Structure 1
Amino acid sequence: MTAKHKIVYKLLVLLQVRMQKTDLWQVAHPEPEALESQEPFCVDTLSMEQWLKFVFIPRMQALLDAGAPLPEACALTPQVEMQLPSQSQAAVSEVTQAIDDLLTEGKTPPASLLKQVL
């Protein structure tokens, strides 16, 4: 696993923790048809928090587990900022911005953010 893969892994764990702490972590699994949407972020069938939990995190985890190349660009944060409730937005968007910056620009997240993951 490359250093970049390890950082993405930590950020995915932190994203899950932040979503759980802000009550955005969905328990009920969406219908299978909802996951088959062709729209970006499945906007026509899923909420942003559902998309993060049931699409983004599992797909990124699968890439990490396989040691596969990671996406070369990512732009989660604008969608997060548009769709998540304002009281939860900052906690989640801090992590999604770190993911966006790492994948798109190769920018390493601040150590203070990464230290939040055991």
Structure 2
Amino acid sequence: MLQELEATLRKFKLWQQNSIAIEQVTSPFGIGQIQFTEWLQFIYLPKMKSLVGAGVGIPKAEITPYAEEVLPSGEGREALLVCIKKLDNLSITAHV
């Protein structure tokens, strides 16, 4: 499912080629610092991939309500929300 989220970001041209200085992101979801899609790409996805790689799995999260608030309407919004909802519904022992 992490690959699905990444593929969806790429498909709708929300994937950035240039990295950001994530150590400067100090607020939850990068509020006021970066776009939510940047937070997904540079903070959420790497952290979840690291946890899965370590055999921990993806912890249960509730980011869908925030995503629904901040994702702009338009192409890709619903597809991203579907991916995020799937990830939110995984248990801590799930492996992607």
In structure 1, list runs of 5 or more residues that go unmatched.
1-10, 109-118
Q: Does 1:94 align with 2:82?
A: yes
Q: Shift of residue 86 of structure 1?
A: 1.0
Residues 50/19 of structure 1: CA separation in 2 closer, same or farther (3 Å cut): same
Question: Greater RCO between the two (CA within 8 Å, min separation 6)?
Answer: 2
**Partner in structure 2 of residue 75 of structure 1:** 62
Give 5+ residue unaligned stretches, structure 2: none
Q: TM-score, normalised by structure 1?
A: 0.69
TM-score by length of 2: 0.84
Q: Which has the larger radius of gyration?
A: 1
1:79 positional shift: 1.6
Deviation at 1:44, TM superposition (A): 2.5
CA contact (8 A) 1:26 1:49 kept: no
Instruction: Show the counterpart of 2:18.
Output: 28
- Match status 1:103 vs 2:91: yes
Contact map agreement 1:80 1:89 (CA 8 A) in 2: no
Per residue, is there more helix in 1 or in 2?
Answer: 1
Q: Which whole-Å deviations, capped at 9, do the CAs of 1:15-36 have from their partners, x for residues lacking one?
A: 011111111111121124433x
CA-CA distance at 1:70 after TM superposition: 3.4
Task: State the secondary structure of the residue aligned to 1:79.
Answer: helix
Residues 3-52 of structure 1: per-residue CA shift (max 9 Å, x gap):
xxxxxxxx1000011111111111121124433x1x21121211101000
RMSD over aligned Cα, in angstroms?
2.1
Which of 15, 22, 39 is the matching residue for 2:5? 15
CA distance in structure 2 between the partners assigned to 1:63 and 1:33 by the alignment: 19
Counting aligned pairs with the same residue, the percent is 29
Q: 1:41 and 1:103, CA in 2 relative to 1: closer, same or farther beyond 3 A?
A: farther
